[in-house]
Structure 1
Amino acid sequence: MKVVIAGGGETGAELAEALIKEEHDVVLIEADEKRAEELAEKLDCLVIKGNAAHPHVLGEAGIKDADVLVALTGNDRDNIIISLIAKSIGVKKIIVKIQDPIYNDLLINMGINDIINPGRLVIAQALSMLKGFDILNISTIMRSNIRLLVAKIPSEYDGKKISELPIDKDKAQILLLYRDQEAYFPKNDLVIKSGDSILLAVKANYYDEISKVLKI
């Protein structure tokens, strides 16, 4: 699988390292020249110095042949532009980090559903700590075989209980359910409503299958 990562910050670098270990073809784009040089020395992948929001830089990264694009720069505007360029080119899987959730609906309306809102993940981590477990340490997850997935519940499950979702519980666990601005610990009898989203911890070898189940 070819993955293009835009943004060579800590998260982008750790994601690239994890994917390289899984023998994926990774291309990392970083705007800062010094940081790009450091990453090129550290990582066994192609590192391109440039602004990924520019189409020619994405072209240099081979975006047309990419299976996945992950936009992880520190700028919401750039991440939105990067994801929309990738969408227009036909990249099947696009994951985008957005600091301000106000842009979520815009991206969803454009057919981009894999949205990471760091603020929400911080809330999820705080809630998990209050429950006595710390499973949402991103660095730990990136180095393990577990991936985080935020997905909007398909409309066909509106009105059903969360336990009725066709998820293999040995390979994935629902951590939180988001409804409007609230987050809930998902009990089996919790009734799903249209517009709900869920945060899951998913084993890497189950990621593609559950993505199809949830129609991501």
Structure 2
Amino acid sequence: MADNIIIVGGKRVCIRLIGLLKRKARYNITVIENNRKILKDIEDKYDDVNIIKGDATNKAVLEQAGIADADIIVAATSIDEVNLLIGILSQNYNLKKIIARTANPSHIKMFKKLGLNEVVSPELTACIDIQKHIVEPKSQTINNGGKEQYEIIKVPVKSNKAIGKEIGAISPADDYIIMLCTKGDRELIAQNNIILEKGDILTILAKSKKVKKVNKFFTKDRLI
């Protein structure tokens, strides 16, 4: 029986991965991507790949792509925070594997502690690694059984230690990673060049034991 695979992010990694998987000829592949040109390129090259245009951090888009019946999801965008959010959302479904790409190898340990089955990095030849995790029956499953626990919190930016700083200058840190930055009615995926302003609301993945410390860092001016 063919496995149902969802690949999120349709750039070079996705296109190359589809080609590698097609050699095995036993996968039903769905791609989620926002860029119409990239989707058109995939559609022209692979007429049997299901195409979904949308934001995969939206639960409705994941369900439209068939995540309820999927076996594997691959979060392969170029933004770690997006891949992490997709991985967390995907844990609500009965998937065999959740595979996430990270551009920063230092994030691998955190991703695995959060229950993402497999994590790969471009520095570790992403396409080949992802394909190996999909097709190898003996791939190890990583669960969130470690001692470290994490929580997702929302924190307003009030501290001078954060105001005026680029996200990339303070995240990721040992105790947290910023995932989203809400500026007024705009909710932005956390990217390194976003400058924090007073009143911004941050969605942060923080170690449970460090939640108070993280809150104080962004809301208090005294040292923590």
Measured against aligned partners, the alpha-carbon deviations of 1:41-90 in whole angstroms (never above 9, x if no partner) come to: 21121111112121111111001111000110111111111111111223
* Counterpart in the other structure of 1:127: none
Partner of 1:176: none
- Counterpart residue type for residue 46 of structure 1: N
Give the aligned partner of residue 60 of structure 1: 64
Find the aligned partners of 1:147 and 1:46 in 2 and give their Cα distance: 19
Matched residue of 1:88: which SS? coil
Provide the identity percentage.
30
- Name the counterpart of 1:3: 5
- Deviations along 1:175-216, one digit per CA (max 9) or x if unpaired, are xxxxxxxxxxxxxxxxxxxxxxxxxxx9x5xx11x22xx455
Number of aligned positions between the proteins: 138
> Closer, same or farther in 2 for the Cα pair 1:215/1:108, shift >3 Å?
closer
Q: TM-score, normalised by structure 1?
A: 0.57
List per-residue Cα deviations over 1:91-149 (Å, max 9, x = no partner).
22011001123332332222214100223x16xxxxxxxxxxxxxxx77x59xxx9545
Out of 29, 37, 60, the residue aligned to residue 34 of structure 1 is: 37
| Letter paired with 2:89 | I
Measured in 2, the distance between the counterparts of 1:10 and 1:26 equals 16
CA gap of 1:215–1:106, structure 2 versus 1, over 3 A, is closer
- Distance in 1 (alpha carbons) for counterparts of 2:131 and 2:45: 23
Answering whether residue 39 of structure 2 is matched by residue 24 of structure 1, we say: no
Decide which of 94, 97, 109 is 1:93's aligned counterpart.
Answer: 97
| Counterpart-to-counterpart distance in 1, 2:11 and 2:99 | 16
Change (3 A) 1:107 1:20: same
- Give the secondary-structure state (helix, strand or coil) at the position aligned to 2:56: coil
The structure with more radius of gyration: 2
CA deviations on 1:16-42 (whole Å, 9 max, x unpaired) are: 233234231110111111211221121
- In structure 2, the partner of 1:103 is 107
Aligned-CA RMSD value: 2.5
Cα distance change of structure 1 residues 148 and 36 upon mapping to structure 2, 3 Å threshold:
same
Separation (CA, whole Å) in 1 of partners of 2:100 and 2:94: 15
- Secondary structure of the 2:10 match is coil
Q: Which has the higher helix share?
A: 1
1:88-167 matches, within 5 Å, as 88-119=92-123, 121=124, 147-149=131-133
The answer for unaligned runs of 5 or more in structure 1 is 123-137, 150-201
